[in-house]
Structures are given as C-alpha cells and as structure tokens.
Structure 1
Amino acid sequence: MTPQALKAAALALPGAALSIQWGDDRVYKVGGKMFAATDGAGSNLSLKVTDIAFEALTETGRARPAPYLAKSKGVRFDDASALDDAEVADWLKTAHALVSAKLTKAVKKELGLV
C-alpha cells in the first residue's frame, strides 16, 4: 500500500484526523485517540488490532508488537508497501472501530459516530 492510499483509507473513516507528531510521524486519530501511525515516509505501519489478530500476526511473523503499543495490542508492519490495499483498509476500519468504541458518548456524538 502506498502512503497516499493509506492516508486516503484512514481519513475516509468517520471522524478520522491526521496529526504530525514525534518528528514527522503521521498519526491517525479518532476523538483524539490514535488508531494507526506511520513514519514520515510511510514505509511502516503501526495500528491497533484485536487480541486474536495480534496473536496471529505476531506468531506468524507477518508483524511484530508495535513499540509503545504492544500492551494495547498494537502491531507494526515494517514494510507497508508490501501490504495488500484491501487488507490494510480492513485493518484500519477495525483499528478505528476498536478505538471509537472506547470514546465517550459525547465525543461519539460530536464526531457523528452514533
């Protein structure tokens, strides 16, 4: 997946926003909470996944626990360009949904998520 396609897929999700943090990292958030991130070049991808996906992706070696996010079931793909666009779009939707589910009702309403 190209950095441009990843950005488009992430920002197409309801209430999603892009923030540049930690130097030039691209951090995708919903309600101020991170659901995905890439380095400035978009060469890697870190995102929140389900418990089952975390185990499957890390045990098979497709991904590794994301630095600073492993505790919250975040994975990192070191080569985002090798990932399938449809698969990444699905992971982004899941990551967005996992993070959105924990937002307050007021924030969800403000973002049009309810």
Structure 2
Amino acid sequence: MEIELLRSYCLSLPAVTEDIKWGNDLVFSVGSRMFCVTSLDQPLKCSFKVKDDEFEELCATGNFSPAPYMARAKWVLVSNAGVMHNEEWKSRVKQSYELVKNKLTKKERTSLGIN
C-alpha cells in the first residue's frame, strides 16, 4: 500500500478529516477521533485500531506490533506495508473506522451525517 492509496481510501469514507500531528504524521479521524495514523516518511508505517479479540493474535504474527502510546486501546503498528495486499489494507482500515465511529455518541454521529 502506498501512502496516496491509503490517503484516498481513508478520505473516501464518510465524514473523515485529515491533518498533520506530531510533526510528520498524517492522521485520519472521524469526528474528533483518530482511526488511522501514518508517517509521511518512507517506508510507510501505519497504525490503526483492531478488534479487542484480534489484538494479541495479530501482534503474535510478527507482522504487527503494539502501536506506541495506543496499544492499550488495541491499536497495532504495521512497519512493513508489504505484509498485506491492498484489499486487506482496505479491510483493516475500514474496520478501524467502524470501531472508532461506533464509539461516537449518537449526537456526534448525527451531526456528522453518519449512522
């Protein structure tokens, strides 16, 4: 997955915003909550939220590691973009988006025009 493909996919999801945080990280959010963070430096490194019951299993594969500062919230870090094909990237990012979106209050989701 290249950063431009990742960026295009994230921005195609409803009510997503992007900004730069911590100097050189591209952050995608729904409402005020992050669901995907990637470094603007090469090689691509990307963090996103996973289901609680998947976290330990994914980290045990060696392809994912606990994301710095966010592991307690079940975020993983992918340091080698080649470990997943583009469709799996899309699936994982979409899942992260849904997990984060579902934590928004009903009022927040309504104001964003999402369910």
TM-score normalised by the shorter chain: which range applies?
over 0.9
Distance in 2 between residues matched to 1:53 and 1:86, nearest whole Å: 18
Matches for 1:23-38 after TM superposition, within 5 Å: 23-38=23-38
Instruction: Give structure 1 regions of 4+ aligned residues with deviation exceeding 3 angstroms.
Output: none
Is the 8 Å Cα contact of residues 3 and 41 (structure 1) preserved in structure 2? no
Q: Aligned-pair distance for 1:93?
A: 0.8
Amino acid at match of 2:47: S
Provide the secondary structure at the position in 2 that maps to 1:61: coil
Give yes or no for the alignment of 1:85 onto 2:86: yes
Tell me the TM-score normalized by structure 1. 0.94
SS at match of 2:18: strand
Alignment-derived partner of residue 101 in structure 1: 102
TM-score by length of 2: 0.93
Larger displacement relative to structure 2 (74-83 or 29-38): 74-83
Which blocks of at least 5 consecutive residues in structure 1 are unaligned? none
Q: SS in structure 1 opposite 2:23?
A: coil
Deviation at 1:13, TM superposition (A): 0.9
CA distance in 1, matches of 2:61, 2:24: 30
Q: What is the distance in 2 between the residues matched to 1:12 and 1:91?
A: 15
Q: Aligned with 1:58: secondary structure?
A: helix
CA distance in 1, matches of 2:85, 2:17: 22
Q: Distance in 2 between matches of 1:39 and 1:77?
A: 11
Instruction: Please give the alpha-carbon distance, in whole angstroms, between the structure 1 residues aligned to 2:55 and 2:62.
Output: 11
Return the alpha-carbon distance in structure 2 between the equivalents of residues 56 and 9 of structure 1. 26
Quote the RMSD (CA, aligned, Å). Answer: 1.2
State the Cα distance separating 1:53 from its structure 2 match: 2.1
SS at match of 2:19: strand
Secondary structure of residue in 2 paired with 1:75: strand
Q: Report the residue type matching 1:15 in the other structure.
A: A
Q: Number of residue pairs matched?
A: 114
Shift of 1:80: 2.2
- Taking the aligned partners of 1:81 and 1:62, their CA distance within structure 2 comes to 10
Identity %: 37
